[in-house]
Structure 1
Amino acid sequence: MRSYTSVLVGQLALNAVFLVPGPVGLVVGFAAWRAGEEWAWIALLVGLVCSAAIPVSAVKSARSQFPRITRGDRVKGEGISYGNDTFVMWAPRSPKGHERARLVRADVLEASLARYSPEGEATFTSYPGDYTPNEFTPLVRLRLRVHDGAEAAGESADGSAGFETTGEWRVPSLCLSAVTAGRLAVLVEPADPSDPPAHGRVTPLWPSSALLAGTRTCRVVDLEGRTSDATRRTGRLLQQMRISRAAGGIGMTGDTIDLRRLDPHTAARYAAVAERDRAFPEDRSPVTEPGEESRWIVDELPGEPAGFGSVGRRWSRRGGVLVRARFLQMTSTHTFQDHGPVLDTVLRVRPVDGTPPFEAARRLTVPMNHLAVLHRTMGEVVLYAAPNGRSYVVDWARSNLLAGTAAATVIAPDGREHAVTGRPELIWALMNLLAAHGLSNPGPVLDLRKRRLSAAAGPVMDAVRDGGTHARTQTQTRARTDADGPAPGRPGSSARE
Structure 2
Amino acid sequence: MRSYAGVMVGHLLLATVWCCPGPFGLVLGYVAWSQGEDWAWIALVAGLACSVPIPFMAVSYARKQFPRITRRDRLKQAGVPYGDATFVLWAPRSPQGHPRARLARADVLEASLVRYAPEGEATYTTYGDTFTPDEFTPLVRLRLRVHGSEETDGTDWTDGAHGSDGSAGFEVTDEWRVPSLCLSAVTAGRLAVLVDPDGSSDPTDPSAPGRVTPLWPRSTLLAGTRTSRIVDLDGRLTDVTRYPGRLLRHMRISLDAGGIDMAGDLIDLRGLDAATAARYTAVAERDRARPESPAPVTEPGEESRWIVDDLPGERAAFGSVGRRWARDGGVLVRARFLQMSPTNTFQDHGPVLDIVLRIHPADGTPPFDATRRLTVPMDYLAVLHRTREVVLYVSPNGTSYVVDWARTNLLAGTAAAKVIAPDGRELPLAGRPEVIWALMNLLASQGLSNPTSVLDLRKRRMSAVAGAVMDLVS
TM more than 0.5: yes
Alpha-carbon deviation of 1:376?
A: 0.7
Q: Is 2:12 the partner of 1:2?
A: no
Cα 1:165/1:25, change in 2 over 3 Å: same
Aligned residue number for residue 71 of structure 2: 71
Aligned residue number for residue 171 of structure 1: 178
Aligned residue number for residue 85 of structure 1: 85
What are the superposed Cα offsets for residues 9-43 of structure 1, whole Å, 9 maximum, x if unpaired?
11111111111111222233345556666654443
Aligned residue number for residue 472 of structure 1: none
Cα 1:154/1:260, change in 2 over 3 Å: closer
Cα 1:251/1:79, change in 2 over 3 Å: farther
Aligned residue number for residue 251 of structure 2: 241
Whichever residue aligns with residue 170 of structure 1, its letter is R
Q: Secondary structure at the match of 2:427?
A: strand
Cα 1:293/1:216, change in 2 over 3 Å: same
Cα 1:160/1:199, change in 2 over 3 Å: closer
Q: Secondary structure at the match of 1:375?
A: coil
2:149–2:168 contact (8 Å) kept in structure 1: no
Q: Secondary structure at the match of 2:463?
A: helix
1:7-18 correspondence to structure 2 within 5 Å: 7-18=7-18
Aligned residue number for residue 284 of structure 1: 294
1:180-259 correspondence to structure 2 within 5 Å: 180-192=187-199, 194-251=204-261, 254-259=264-269
Q: Which moved more, 1:360-369 or 1:30-39?
A: 30-39
Aligned residue number for residue 453 of structure 2: 444
Alpha-carbon deviation of 1:439?
A: 0.6
In 1, Cα distance between equivalents of 2:125 and 2:233:
45
Alpha-carbon deviation of 1:160?
A: 8.2
Q: Which moved more, 1:41-50 or 1:164-173?
A: 41-50
2:12–2:58 contact (8 Å) kept in structure 1: yes
Aligned residue number for residue 398 of structure 1: 407
| Unaligned residue ranges in structure 1 (runs of 5+) | 466-497
1:130-141 correspondence to structure 2 within 5 Å: 130-141=130-141
What are the superposed Cα offsets for residues 25-69 of structure 1, whole Å, 9 maximum, x if unpaired?
223334555666665444333211221111110111111111200
Aligned residue number for residue 428 of structure 1: 437
Cα 1:54/1:126, change in 2 over 3 Å: same
What are the superposed Cα offsets for residues 69-106 of structure 1, whole Å, 9 maximum, x if unpaired?
00000011146401110110001100121111001000
Provide the alpha-carbon RMSD of the alignment. 2.0
1:4-43 correspondence to structure 2 within 5 Å: 4-32=4-32, 39-43=39-43
Aligned residue number for residue 355 of structure 1: 365
Q: Which moved more, 1:205-214 or 1:75-84?
A: 75-84
Aligned residue number for residue 158 of structure 2: none
Q: Secondary structure at the match of 1:376?
A: coil
In 1, Cα distance between equivalents of 2:165 and 2:259:
29
Q: Is 2:380 the partner of 1:370?
A: yes
In 1, Cα distance between equivalents of 2:118 and 2:204:
41
In 2, Cα distance between equivalents of 1:33 and 1:45:
12
1:187–1:202 contact (8 Å) kept in structure 2: yes
1:23-172 correspondence to structure 2 within 5 Å: 23-32=23-32, 39-78=39-78, 80-120=80-120, 123-152=123-152, 162-172=169-179
% identical equivalent positions: 73
Alpha-carbon deviation of 1:334?
A: 1.1
Q: Is 2:317 the partner of 1:310?
A: no
| Unaligned residue ranges in structure 2 (runs of 5+) | 156-162
Whichever residue aligns with residue 232 of structure 1, its letter is R
Whichever residue aligns with residue 102 of structure 2, its letter is R
In 1, Cα distance between equivalents of 2:352 and 2:325:
28
Cα 1:158/1:17, change in 2 over 3 Å: closer
Aligned residue number for residue 322 of structure 1: 332
Cα 1:435/1:114, change in 2 over 3 Å: same
Aligned residues: 464
1:154–1:161 contact (8 Å) kept in structure 2: no
Q: Secondary structure at the match of 2:64?
A: helix
Q: Which moved more, 1:263-272 or 1:220-229?
A: 263-272
Q: TM-score, normalised by structure 2?
A: 0.94
Aligned residue number for residue 481 of structure 1: none
In 1, Cα distance between equivalents of 2:205 and 2:154:
25
In 1, Cα distance between equivalents of 2:28 and 2:166:
86
Q: Secondary structure at the match of 1:43?
A: helix
Whichever residue aligns with residue 175 of structure 1, its letter is C
Whichever residue aligns with residue 183 of structure 1, its letter is R
Cα 1:439/1:122, change in 2 over 3 Å: farther
In 2, Cα distance between equivalents of 1:262 and 1:228:
17
Q: Which moved more, 1:114-123 or 1:278-287?
A: 114-123
2:80–2:369 contact (8 Å) kept in structure 1: no
In 1, Cα distance between equivalents of 2:207 and 2:131:
37
Q: TM-score, normalised by structure 1?
A: 0.89
Alpha-carbon deviation of 1:442?
A: 1.0
Equivalent residue in structure 1 for 2:304, among 258, 276, 294: 294
2:150–2:167 contact (8 Å) kept in structure 1: no
